[in-house]
């Protein structure tokens, strides 16, 4: 047996989780609850028209699927065939769960009845719905705004097969073991359906990732050119500084011969101030990384920030351009946040290799506690919530100002976290390399 209230609830949740809603979370949730209540009422009415219990239960589930389909036309954005497929899937899941439950209870070595059979039935229904949802979530999420195509039409037609098999429409194919044959054949069609969805999704993702890879290479190439310009600027500044020092020393020597103490003191002050230029410091063993830090140090000085940094990246198994992108983005964000802080305004940046990882850490003054940006339900729909919980892209929403850094972290299966410590925010990036 299968408990209808549980089945109807699972069907409602399946629609809610797999389809892309138009409205905010509260509106969609309210529509789903109302649909579930109406389904309970409709199922009890529909069952009364059929003497056969199995047929009555099936038609009750079909009524629930029809209600969900009609409501989905107004509440969700997916194309109509995707919604129709889910409606067919709901009825098919019910008939298959019923067939599977009866077969498993029948072959158990003990008498399975009463409470045990009820718990087993509910478990089968819930687990099979959960499995369906997990296998279809990413394909449905990826193709949520796609138009009707031959694939979804064909797969919707194939979904009728498990439904018809469960009712014995093809028992003539396996007359000696009908129940077992139905199970195996239904499993085969479910496998075809889920495998097809996952294969099409993977193929589309592979194509998209190939394009992303091309764009990523173009981005790194563009950034490399920018970092090269920065390095050239810093090297030129250092060269000018060397010539300047030489000239000042000569002037100082000449004036010293004339014993002009006032002029000597003036030139000494100029030399002292010139040594404070942040672009003249060496911050890293990598000249490109050092130059990127130097430019951000200059920016920090211009807006009145206390700045310190050291980056050890000599043996890092990462592209220099990727290290520079992370460094530049972390420091730009740190300087921006520290400039708005009250009291002491400090920025500290370190890059440290530890074993097979490279850790970037930016610490800066801040007025507010930011222990990781919290996801807010306000203004979000149910799809946004599921995407935040299940999607790999969720990190990008937590740190929108560090988009490129997040992309690189994901490529290296690294970690990005934010910690607040007494008015100082620490953003830590760990790359597995």
Q: 350 is in which domain, residue-wise? A: 278-432
Within a domain: 205: yes
Query: Rounded to an integer, what distance in angstroms lies between the CA atom of residue 104 and that of residue 417?
Result: 47
Q: Tell whether 175 and 289 lie within a shared domain.
A: no
pLDDT at position 91: 92
Question: Tokens standing for 265?
Answer: 């003191």
Within a domain: 21: yes
Within a domain: 225: no
pLDDT at position 108: 63
CATH of the domain at 285: 3.30.565.10
CA dihedral sign of residues 78, 82, 83, 86: negative
Query: Rounded to an integer, what distance in angstroms lies between the CA atom of residue 364 and that of residue 310?
Result: 15
Within a domain: 364: yes
Q: Tell whether 21 and 106 lie within a shared domain.
A: yes
Single out the residue in 210, 244, 264 at which a domain terminates. Answer: 210
pLDDT at position 371: 45
Across the chain, which distance is largest between two alpha carbons, in Å? Answer: 121
Q: Tell whether 192 and 287 lie within a shared domain.
A: no
Single out the residue in 177, 210, 243 at which a domain terminates. Answer: 210
pLDDT at position 1: 58
pLDDT at position 338: 87
Beta-ladder partners of 311: 284, 351
Single out the residue in 195, 210, 225 at which a domain terminates. Answer: 210
Question: Tokens standing for 433?
Answer: 């390399």
pLDDT at position 342: 79
In the chain, the number of structural domains is 2
Phi, psi dihedral angles at 39 (to 5 degrees): -65, -40
Question: Tokens standing for 279?
Answer: 């672009």
Q: How many helices (H) and strands (E) does the chain have?
A: 14, 5
pLDDT at position 253: 63
Per-residue pLDDT of the chain (433 residues; tens, 9 = 90+): 567 889 999 999 999 988 988 888 888 889 999 999 999 999 889 888 887 777 888 899 999 999 999 999 999 988 999 999 999 999 999 988 888 887 777 666 556 666 667 788 888 889 999 999 889 988 888 888 888 888 889 988 988 888 888 777 777 777 777 777 888 888 899 999 999 998 888 888 777 666 566 667 666 776 776 667 666 666 666 665 565 566 566 656 666 666 566 456 556 655 555 555 666 678 888 888 888 888 888 888 878 888 888 888 877 778 888 888 899 889 988 888 888 887 788 999 999 888 788 899 999 988 765 444 555 656 666 677 776 666 654 444 556 678 888 888 888 878 888 888 777 888 999 988 7
Within a domain: 18: yes
Query: Rounded to an integer, what distance in angstroms lies between the CA atom of residue 203 and that of residue 93?
Result: 27
Question: Tokens standing for 59?
Answer: 């038609």
Q: Tell whether 164 and 289 lie within a shared domain.
A: no
Rounded to two decimals, the pTM is: 0.61
Place of tokens 């038609």: 59
Question: Tokens standing for 110?
Answer: 């003990």
pLDDT at position 14: 92
């Amino acid at each position: 047996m299968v408990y209808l209230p549980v089945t109807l609830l699972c069907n409602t949740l399946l629609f809610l989780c797999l389809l892309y809603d138009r409205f905010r979370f509260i509106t969609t949730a309210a529509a789903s609850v109302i649909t579930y209540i109406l389904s309970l009422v409709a199922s009890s009415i529909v069952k009364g028209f059929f003497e056969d219990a199995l047929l009555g239960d099936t038609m009750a589930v079909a009524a629930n699927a029809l209600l969900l389909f009609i409501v989905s036309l107004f509440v969700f954005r997916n194309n109509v065939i995707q919604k129709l497929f889910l409606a067919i899937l709901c009825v098919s899941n019910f008939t298959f769960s019923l067939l599977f439950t009866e077969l498993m209870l029948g072959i158990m070595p003990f008498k399975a009845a009463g409470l045990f059979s009820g718990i087993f039935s509910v478990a089968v229904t819930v687990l099979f719905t959960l499995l369906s949802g997990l296998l279809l979530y990413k394909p449905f999420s990826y193709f949520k705004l796609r138009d009707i195509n031959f694939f979804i039409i064909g797969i919707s037609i194939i979904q009728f097969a498990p439904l018809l098999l469960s009712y014995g429409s093809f028992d003539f194919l396996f007359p000696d073991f009908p129940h077992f044959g139905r199970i195996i054949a239904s499993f085969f069609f479910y496998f075809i359906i889920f495998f097809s969805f996952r294969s099409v999704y993977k193929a589309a993702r592979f194509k998209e990732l190939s394009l992303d890879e091309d764009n990523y290479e173009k981005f790194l190439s563009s950034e490399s050119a920018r970092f090269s310009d920065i390095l050239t600027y810093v090297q030129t500044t250092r060269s000018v500084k060397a010539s300047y020092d030489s000239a000042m020393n000569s002037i100082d020597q000449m004036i010293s011969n004339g014993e002009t103490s006032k002029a000597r003191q003036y030139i000494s002050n100029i030399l002292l101030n010139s040594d404070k230029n942040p672009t003249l410091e060496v911050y890293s063993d990598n000249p490109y990384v050092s130059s990127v830090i130097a430019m951000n140090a200059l920016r920090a000085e211009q807006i009145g920030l206390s700045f310190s940094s050291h980056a050890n990246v000599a043996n890092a198994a990462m592209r220099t351009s990727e290290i520079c992108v992370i460094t530049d983005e972390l420091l730009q964000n740190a300087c921006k946040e520290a400039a708005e802080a009250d009291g002491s305004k400090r920025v500290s940046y370190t890059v440290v290799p530890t074993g097979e990882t490279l850790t970037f850490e930016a610490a800066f003054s801040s007025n507010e506690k930011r222990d990781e940006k919290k996801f807010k339900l306000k203004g979000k729909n149910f799809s946004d919530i599921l995407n935040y919980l299940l999607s790999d892209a969720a990190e990008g929403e937590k740190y929108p100002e560090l988009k490129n850094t997040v992309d690189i972290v994901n490529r290296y299966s690294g970690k990005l976290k934010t910690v607040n410590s007494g008015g100082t925010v620490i953003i830590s990036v760990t790359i597995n390399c």
